[in-house]
Structure 1
């Protein structure tokens, strides 16, 4: 067994990479990428919103989000509209075609769940909850590394 197989970080990396590849197989026939798909899912569930709020929901910066939304607009899935009150604010909404994709892509979550071996919604929910706890913990480590370094007695670089 390779040494990396014993690392949590590598197991997460491998699972994420393989899951993204599985989504690619399912979404390529529709000309969509995974980030475009999650943008559509967010708009289907939450409705029209600002580009800023969509970026926050998807954890994407504007440098990634803007070109992606531009491609989605060119494909006829969304419209972007500048606010008349504040031209810095851009709204994003689904078009009729973007709304219709919801039905066409309804099989995708079922395929992912089946491929992951989930036998019921509770199994999926348990994994999602565990991953949310992990994400929150890693954000805490990212934002407050000294707390964790002190807790584990990690050495500090010499100045």
Structure 2
């Protein structure tokens, strides 16, 4: 199909945000499929990975890592706690802080999804080098956009 619009016209296909949006939706669909057999959503998967990597975390620290506000994170953690994946306790050093830790079931579930990154890499059609370069580019872009806020 040809268009009579000039090459520099504002079109959805020219927008980086649209390209990223469609890519995220495609990733979401693949993650949803891969994680469904483990009974996890993508945010639960990321939370398990963050807690598994960093050990018990305060809710605030987990929110920073996941880039989620407490209004979004608290219901997620409640569901995860109800499913037996995490436990929440008050920090003995500072009762105002709540610590989140993996339970035995959470550790088992995390171990069970260890092949997900490889499956995602394989489905991407990119080489490991290309994926590393893409991740690096996205990290730089995120940092630049976050520091450019007014």
TM-score (norm 1): 0.83
**2:145 matches 1:138:** yes
- 1:31-72, CA deviations, whole angstroms, 9 ceiling, x for partnerless residues? 211111000111111111111100000000000101100110
Q: Which runs of 5+ in 2 are unaligned?
A: 4-10
Report the number of matched residues.
Answer: 142
Q: Match of 1:68?
A: 76
Match of 1:128 among 122, 126, 135: 135
**Higher helix share goes to which structure?**
1
> In structure 2, what is the Cα distance between the partners aligned to 1:119 and 1:109?
13
Q: Which runs of 5+ in 1 are unaligned?
A: 145-159
TM-score (norm 2): 0.88
Distance 1:45 1:85, change over 3 A: closer
> In structure 2, what is the Cα distance between the partners aligned to 1:100 and 1:30?
10
* RMSD of aligned residue pairs (Cα, Å): 1.6
- Report the secondary structure of 1:30's partner residue: coil
